[in-house]
Amino acid sequence: MRDLTLSPLDNHQLANLCGALDENLRQIETALDVTIVRRGERFTVRGEAAASERAADALEYFYAQAKESLSLDDIQLGLIEILNRPVRHLSTAAGGAVPVLITKKTELHGRTPRQVDYLKAIAEHDITFGIGPAGTGKTYLAVASAVDAFERELVSRIVLTRPAVEAGERLGFLPGDLTQKIDPYLRPLYDALYDLMGFERVGKLFERGAIEIAPLAYMRGRTINHAFIILDEAQNTTPEQMKMFLTRIGIGTRAVITGDVTQIDLARGQKSGLVEARAILANVRGIAFSEFLKEDVVRHPLVARIVAAYEAHDTALEQASHRRSGDTHGAR
């Protein structure tokens, strides 16, 4: 348990900290797995010692920021940074300059040490792999880096691609031309572009060909120069597709390949091109690999805990399988 008194007392700041119906406090409770009881400016935090200390830090941090009202985004993004403070010394970038990106969202930056390192890797390498669970910012930061490179005129166009593999569903016949057929698969990339450049500007750049949709299956035979290419959902590429994609990169081109190796939707027994590339290219100079963990999830605070729960479940199943295998061999 941890007792905390916020000072100097300012009722306006206190109201902004707590939010409507104490919603901000509920967000802190959910993210840090604690219980917060408030009486005026005095707070009691109940939970494990480390979690209680973090929650107290969060209350002091947000109170200092609460001269103006705090949005849900302010709270959730701030919690991500607080959750990662104990491991900041692990980041090679934390001690140096944090990459600044030119996008519509001027406050955009890496929220965790590995995100900061990922942005630095993209800036310093022609090919970067971003591998990790959902919500860690792999795709969004790749798009932000592409927008930044385009705005700085380091590249003349942005190319978006991903394999059209259905995630356990049968989508059936999709009407329209090639771009319209691939659109549903590229929606996360579109959403990031609209967020970072604005809907109208993105539309105009599509018309000019400065932003291009290139279905992975149709990239064979091309050499793409002076572009920023993003291959999303790369865990669903075959080894042949991955090799084909990597050999499309031409002069002045930068590529970012993102994927989550725990969510492979290929047919059973089919090897993932991302998994194979990670093994084959790990020591190739000029190629960077950024590995994200559940601690890097920058979504609703529950997402990190959901990822952790699934990881624990998978580990338990794997251990049970090993025990059954051992019992079988022992019986022989």
Q: Which of 293, 27, 301, 289 is nearest to 134 (CA)?
A: 293
Q: Which helix (H) or strand (E) holds 35?
A: strand 35-39
Q: What is the C-alpha separation between 55 and 308, in angstroms, rounded?
A: 20
Beta-carbon contacts of residue 111 (< 8 Å; ≥ 6 apart): 77, 80, 81, 84, 137, 298
For the entire predicted model, the pTM comes to 0.67
Q: What is the DSSP string of 236-269?
A: GS-HHHHHHHHTTB-TT-EEEEEE-TT---SPTT
Q: Domain 91-299 belongs to what architecture?
A: 3-Layer(aba) Sandwich (3.40)
pLDDT tens digits for the chain (332 residues)?
Answer: 889 999 889 999 999 999 988 999 998 998 888 999 999 889 999 998 888 988 998 999 899 989 988 988 888 878 877 776 643 333 334 445 567 788 888 777 787 889 999 999 999 999 999 999 888 889 999 999 999 999 999 999 999 998 876 544 444 555 666 566 667 777 888 889 999 999 999 999 999 999 998 888 878 888 899 999 999 999 999 999 999 999 999 999 999 999 999 899 888 889 999 999 999 999 998 899 999 987 787 766 677 678 788 888 999 998 988 887 766 656 55
Tokens, residue 48: 């494990």
Task: With H, G, I as helix, E, B as strand and everything else as coil, classify residue 92.
Answer: coil
Q: What CATH class does 2-86 carry?
A: alpha beta
Q: For the sheet containing 211-213, what is the strand order?
A: 211-213, 157-161, 227-231, 254-259, 127-131, 287-291
| Amino acid letter for position 24 | N
The confidence score (pLDDT) of residue 93 equals 40
Instruction: For residue 285, list its beta bridge partners.
Output: none
Domain boundaries of the chain, sorted by first residue: 2-86, 91-299, 302-332
Q: Are 152 and 321 in contact (CB under 8 A)?
A: no
DSSP state of 216: G
Pairing status of strand 42-46 against strand 227-231: unpaired
Q: What is the C-alpha separation between 120 and 329, in angstroms, rounded?
A: 49
Measure Cα distances from 102 to 98, 107, 108, 112, 129 in Å: 13, 10, 9, 19, 22
Tokens, residue 31: 């993210």
